[in-house]
Chain A
């Protein structure tokens, strides 16, 4: 199934994690690592590849937060969101439920933006 969508299982889990809750939210690397259970050496190459294909946007956090360095933040681009939904739709059935939830959340957001 992963082969049909063109993404590896690990990449799919990153995409699922980025789609979940609110795709417009900016996420940071450690958060994604916790959600997907991937190690940094696996997660970051995936993010680099997705960013180079224009599916993920990356930017540094604004300002200097107290007590910690600035974070590098990620979210799906509009192309990335479409690609992630398409890929997850053909992936394992237990994901389908989560994607549907994310899709409803996305539609709600579009409706709000339209109104």
Chain B
């Protein structure tokens, strides 16, 4: 029993290292008091509780998220990889399945350098996990759909693969993931409470309704009634979301860096992005699972051969494969409308959200909410107690906030940061921030009046770079590339023949 207890204590001491520095204290606290618990079953239970604590924190922390992502990414690559190399979709699939995984893995590290880690709370974490799951599901379903749509490539190039739209899709996905990561990060973007959940919620509900109207995408029947509903939703969703978000942000008294119109625009583009992504995922997954339910895109050519005989450039289809050709063409083309919405949705949302936010600002009874720094009590004197890393982090945050407000010079900040690491007791730490305003100690961001500083270039720049810079660039790319038809696509075919 004694040996078992010692083993548990050793295990707890080592496993504490798995926790981030701010949480390590807690595991060490359990270990420190194990000696006081009566030896035997009680002490074993105490140490077991400590191990449970570490396991819980680790599972809820980064390790499990990284593992889950690795499993999901491997699954997606596995789905996207197979297929005969004669299938013209296969090389494309291999490139963009791997490209997406690399993108999803690398972007958090890049974004984290500039805007910090994920914001605490369940909503930002859930948004990140959900967004990643959506992107993985979309690419997996699209690889399956593309493969089904060009199976006849074994006989002749039915639908020559077009690289440009796939690269654009990869860039759009990159913009979505970057936007998601920035909006759910700790720094830079200060949205009022509920704005992000409202944007995502409205978008999800709209996507659900539109999907119920056209489960296989509207491209199969462009004159169908559901396209009108899509248009209506594309107008109503961003206007309503922008209006509501602007009202909410005007009433919110918490520190917020963005104005109501900006918040309305951001919420609307967030709603549109959510709706577009969800629709694309649902449609692509439905097509991949039920390819035989996709309606034929246009009637098959007349039995005599139709236009094939009069147009020397067109692909000659053996009569026996004609029906299969049309089925595959329809599967390949189905679900393209949601993918196009993926590109223009957030852009449209941002502009209509500005309109909605402007309407909210003009409506009576709304003014920019007042505020001022939170009236927090000054920190309690902690006396000659030993400081922990968590205490030091808090002091450094306070010093940085003071530096940002101009209360400290760069030299003072450096000197005091050095002293923070050297400080042993809480009293020594308290002395470092004693001459700074008390309100800074717990809230790093202090609200500034909107009139005094209508624009915050850095924050705004980061926000708009996600939607405002990448999306127009993609538009330009699309326009420049045009709509490649099989005959325009000779150089790409040559590259492809080298790859396969």
Contacts and interface: CB of A to CB of B under 8 A. Distances in A.
B is a partner of A: yes
A30 B32 CA distance: 10
A29 B30 contact: yes
Contacts of B50: 40-41, 44
Nearest to A63: B386
Majority secondary structure of chain A interface residues (helix, strand, loop or mixed): mixed
A114 interface: no
Contacts of A22: none
B442 A57 contact: no
Interface residues of A, number: 32
The size bracket of the interface on B is 35 or more
A69 B386 CA distance: 13
Majority secondary structure of chain B interface residues (helix, strand, loop or mixed): helix
Contacts, number: 92
A19 B147 CA distance: 66
Given A30-B36, A62-B425, A78-B377, A39 B49 contact: yes
A115 to B, nearest CB: 19
B48 A68 contact: no
A35 interface: no
A47 to B, nearest CB: 7
B102 interface: no
Contact of A71 (B29, B53, B384): B29
Contacts of A89: none
A45 interface: yes
A89 B33 CA distance: 32
Query: Which of A26, A33, A47 has the most CB atoms of chain B within a 10 A radius of its CB?
Result: A33
A25 interface: no
A60 B33 contact: no
A42 interface: yes
B52 A41 contact: yes
Given A57-B382, A61-B386, A29 B29 contact: yes
A5 interface: no
A54 interface: yes
A96 interface: no
Contacts of A48: 23, 26, 57
Interface in B153-183: none
Contacts of A70: 32, 386
A37 to B, nearest CB: 12
Interface stretch (B130-138, B364-372, B387-395): B387-395
B285 interface: no
A28 interface: yes
Contacts of B53: 40-41, 44-45
Given A59-B382, A59-B391, A69-B32, A41 B48 contact: yes
Interface string B286-326: 00000000000000000000000000000000000000000
A10 interface: no
Interface in B13-53: 23, 25-26, 28-33, 35-37, 45-50, 52-53
A73 B26 CA distance: 10
A44 to B, nearest CB: 5
A79 B45 CA distance: 33
B426 interface: yes
A62 B385 contact: yes
A71 B25 CA distance: 10
Interface in A71-105: 71-73, 77-79
Contacts of B31: 69
Contacts of B385: 26, 59-62, 73
Contact of B377 (A42, A73, A79): A79
Query: Which of B23, B47, B53 has the most CB atoms of chain A within a 10 A radius of its CB?
Result: B53
Contacts of B48: 40-41
A73 B425 CA distance: 14
Given A39-B45, A40-B49, A72 B28 contact: yes
Given A41-B53, A62-B425, A72 B45 contact: no
A58 interface: yes
B388 A42 contact: no
B173 to A, nearest CB: 34
Nearest to A82: B377
A42 B120 CA distance: 21
Given A48-B23, A71-B32, A73-B385, A59 B45 contact: no
15 contacts: A30-B46, A40-B48, A41-B48, A42-B49, A45-B53, A47-B26, A57-B380, A59-B387, A59-B388, A62-B383, A68-B32, A69-B31, A71-B29, A72-B33, A77-B380
Given A29-B33, A44-B53, A59-B382, 11 more contacts: A29-B30, A39-B45, A40-B49, A43-B49, A52-B120, A59-B426, A60-B386, A62-B384, A69-B35, A72-B32, A78-B380
What 3 A-B pairs have minimum CB-CB distances, sorted nearest first?
A40-B49, A72-B29, A41-B49
